[in-house]
Amino acid sequence: MSAAQQRLLDLGWTPEVGRAFQPYRGAHRLARVCRVDRGGAALAGGMGAVRASFGGEVLRAVADDRLALPAVGDWTAVRDWPDDRVTLEAVLPRRTAIVRDSADRTSAGQVVAANVDVVVIVEHLDPDPDLGRIERLLVLAWGSGAQPIVVLTKSDLVPDPLGMRDEVAEVAPGVEILLVSSVLGDGVDELGALVRNGRTLALVGPSGAGKSTLTNLLAGVDVMPTGSVRARDGRGRHTTTHRELVVLPGRGVLIDTPGLRAVGLVADGGAVAGAFADVEAFAGQCRFRDCGHVTEPGCAVLLAVADGDLDEDRLARWRKLRREAALNAARRSGNRRAVVAELEARRHRR
């Protein structure tokens, strides 16, 4: 195998990517996006690192649909020009995509990371984990098509990490949960074991959860600036404004995303159902198929709450996320009346 081929494999190349690139062979190079900034992207490919600006086709597509904007993790076709310019000409179809609500809420959303195999939801144990945030990130993960896992950091700072893990398990049915201390090294190898076979792991979570610290530990070198370093160099805590893709040669790929202050979702009902499999299972047993789980007779959801099998707060958060999903669906349909009706229903249900 050539060095160039090895580099592509290290970047997570699959035969599927190879097939998608077929039409571009010859005039283009295959490369994966490591970071996106204004007007261009840092990429890595068989020939190494390269910076490209967005080509006309890409810019036209983005004008129509924000989701067409190249994102970290995307596989792309890149073109070299005689005047030394390099342009990103096409984004190959995404196998999975983590999509969040765009900051301005004017469009469908923005891709946080693409072609991810495992979404690592990173949440700190100190301060206390935010169960609602973990649920939202799980919805984000289920909606991406990738497999979620929860990593609880800073286990060295709390007296009962196992008890806290059990609490988190209540809001993460069917999802593996790892306890990690980047200071003591606990759990780091277990997480590292998931980076194999050219798989791509993306770390998502709030600022300060320890994503960059973990990335550095797993990479074995400091590839990310972390909170402590940033504080020392006086640039403040929220300086991770760019996303980065890190290759662990012979193992896989890590994507460190910037801390999400608020997780705006563009979730659909299916993603909510994935993250709330326990609640949906109860709902499936209600007497009426269109049960609203409010006052209906034979409501298995209300029964579960009464019996202590389902936490009332979790039920409330499920309702809220379902309303959000319904509103998103209405927005996306472009049907003004559906949006107004959904907003109206929202007001009454408050």
Ligand X SMILES: Nc1nc2c(ncn2[C@@H]2O[C@H](COP(=O)(O)OP(=O)(O)OP(=O)(O)O)[C@@H](O)[C@H]2O)c(=O)[nH]1
Q: Which residues bind ligand X (CB under 6 A)?
A: 153-154, 156-157, 181-183, 207-213, 226-228, 238, 240, 258-259
Q: Are 150 and 168 in contact (CB under 8 A)?
A: yes
Q: Is 187 annotated as a binding residue?
A: no
Pick from 243, 293, 314, 317 the residue near Zn ion by CB under 5 A. 293
Is the sign of the CA dihedral 146, 147, 148, 149 positive or negative? negative
* 208 annotated as belonging to a binding site for a ligand: yes
Residue 291 contacts which entry, ligand X, Zn ion, none (Cβ below 5-8 A, type-dependent) = Zn ion
Q: Is 299 annotated as a binding residue?
A: yes
Q: Is 154 annotated to bind ligand?
A: yes
Q: What does 76 interact with, of ligand X, Zn ion, none (CB < 5 to 8 A by kind)?
A: none
State the binding partner of 293 from ligand X, Zn ion, none, CB within 5 to 8 A by kind: Zn ion
Give the one residue of 119, 267, 301, 310 binding Zn ion; rule: CB under 5 A.
301
| Total Cβ atoms within 10 A of residue 348 | 6
Picked from ligand X, Zn ion, none, the partner binding residue 85 (CB below 5 to 8 A depending on kind) is none
Nearer to ligand X, 227 or 252 (CB): 227
Q: What is the closest distance, in whole angstroms, from the C-beta atom of residue 322 to Zn ion in the complex?
A: 13
Residue 268 annotated as binding site: no
Nearest approach, Cβ of 140 to ligand X (angstroms)? 15
Q: Within 43-72, which residues bind Zn ion (CB under 5 A)?
A: none
Least Å from the CB of residue 235 to ligand X = 11
**Does the protein bind Zn ion through residue 133 (CB under 5 A)?**
no
For 85-123, letters b (16+ CB in 10 Å) and e give ebbbbbbbebbbbbbbbbeeeeeebbbbbbbbbbbbbbb
Residue from 136, 160, 159 nearest 150 by CA: 136
Looking at the Cβ atoms of 18 and 127, the one nearer to ligand X is 127
Q: Is 252 annotated as a binding residue?
A: no
Any binding-site annotation on 228? no
Residue 131: name the closest of 150, 157, 155, 159 by CA: 150
Nearer to Zn ion, 138 or 301 (CB): 301
As measured in angstroms, the least distance from the Cβ of 108 to ligand X is 24
Number of residues this chain uses to bind Zn ion (CB under 5 A): 5
Site string for Zn ion, 230-269 (x = CB under 5 A): ----------------------------------------
Minimum Å gap between C-beta 184 and ligand X is: 7
Nearer to ligand X, 148 or 210 (CB): 210
With respect to Zn ion, which residue has the nearer C-beta, 57 or 296?
Answer: 296
Which lies closer to ligand X via its Cβ, residue 218 or residue 253?
Answer: 218
Feature table: binding site: 153-156, 205-213, 286, 291, 293, 299
Q: What residues make contact with Zn ion under the rule CB under 5 A?
A: 286, 291, 293, 299, 301
